[in-house]
């Protein structure tokens, strides 16, 4: 498995710095060659944030601790308002999608997909926008919703809910072969602190767990480019 060595390092980590190093390694591998595909719609990640929680070792207060973030490796996780896999979905600008990367019941781990490039070449920035764009494309394949419903859709609106189950409970992760290098496999990577987390736990908030594919072109609408540039330099 592409991530086996990095996940193994995460399993045996004994301190915070080792966990951060393993999370950055996994993020880098996903940004370099990871592909996320579900219901016939494919994208490449441009920006990911790591959310990992292991009792007694790395108790990140910003992790949802939802069942879908634990032992659901390679599946997408649409954010919910409670800890159960069946909890109601979050809505409006609070609903986003992540990739579960936990292969164990011992820890929660998912990567929030903040920005992505879809197979038609369009780049979408902002986690809520990514989920909405993905759901729209899935609907083009499945015709689950009438096109008229989507004409006036706001990002994360309740009308999207019938599409969310089509994104979950199935393998969504694969990798492009190492022999097929492209711009993403050689682009600079930037690590910085995660966005919009508030002050619940500044020690965890400020860890460099946000990974971004560079360069920081003007047309790439990453949030807080000033901080990204500072951390890159």
Backbone angles phi, psi at 131, to 5 degrees: -60, -45
Give the tokens for residue 204.
């965890």
Global confidence as pTM: 0.94
* pLDDT band, very low/low/confident/very high, at 217 (cuts 50, 70, 90): confident
Alpha helices in the chain (DSSP H): 4-12, 16-33, 127-142, 147-151, 183-186, 202-205, 225-232
Residue 233 clears pLDDT 80, i.e. is over it: no
Give the tokens for residue 1.
């498995």
Mean pLDDT score, 202-218: 93
Distance from C-alpha of 26 to C-alpha of 2, rounded to nearest angstrom: 10
Give the tokens for residue 106.
């011992």
Q: In a 3-state reduction of DSSP, which class is residue 57?
A: coil
- Report strand pairing: 108-118 vs 97-100: antiparallel
* pLDDT band, very low/low/confident/very high, at 155 (cuts 50, 70, 90): low
Residue 33 clears pLDDT 70, i.e. is over it: yes
* pLDDT band, very low/low/confident/very high, at 1 (cuts 50, 70, 90): low
pLDDT tens digit string along 83-107? 999 999 998 777 899 999 999 999 9
pLDDT tens digit string along 133-152? 999 999 999 999 988 887 77
**CB of 26 within 8 A of CB of 209?**
no
Q: In Å, what is the CA distance from 170 to each residue of 55, 165, 181?
A: 27, 10, 27
Report pLDDT for 184: 73
Mean pLDDT score, 116-134: 95
Report pLDDT for 156: 63
Distance from C-alpha of 132 to C-alpha of 137, rounded to nearest angstrom: 9
């Amino acid at each position: 498995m592409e991530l086996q060595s990095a996940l193994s390092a995460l399993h045996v980590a004994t301190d915070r710095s080792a966990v951060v190093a393993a999370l950055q390694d996994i993020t880098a591998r996903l940004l370099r060659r990871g592909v996320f595909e579900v219901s016939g719609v494919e994208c490449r990640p441009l920006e990911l944030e790591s959310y990992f929680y292991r009792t007694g070792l790395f108790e990140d207060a910003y992790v949802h601790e939802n069942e879908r973030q634990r032992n659901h490796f390679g599946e997408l996780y649409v954010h919910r308002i409670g800890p159960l896999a069946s909890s109601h979905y979050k809505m409006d600008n609070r609903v986003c999608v992540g990739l579960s990367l936990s292969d164990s019941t011992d820890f929660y781990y998912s990567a929030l997909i903040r920005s992505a490039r879809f197979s038609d070449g369009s780049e979408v920035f902002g986690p809520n926008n990514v989920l909405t764009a993905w759901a729209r494309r899935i609907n083009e394949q499945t015709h689950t919703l009438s096109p008229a419903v989507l004409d006036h859709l706001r990002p994360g609106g309740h009308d999207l809910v019938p599409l969310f189950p089509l994104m979950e409970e199935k393998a969504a992760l694969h990798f492009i072969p190492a022999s097929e290098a492209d711009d993403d496999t050689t682009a600079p990577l930037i690590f910085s602190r995660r966005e919009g987390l508030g002050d619940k736990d500044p020690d965890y908030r400020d860890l460099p767990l946000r990974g971004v594919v560079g360069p920081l072109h003007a047309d790439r609408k990453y949030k807080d480019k000033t901080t990204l540039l500072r951390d890159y330099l």
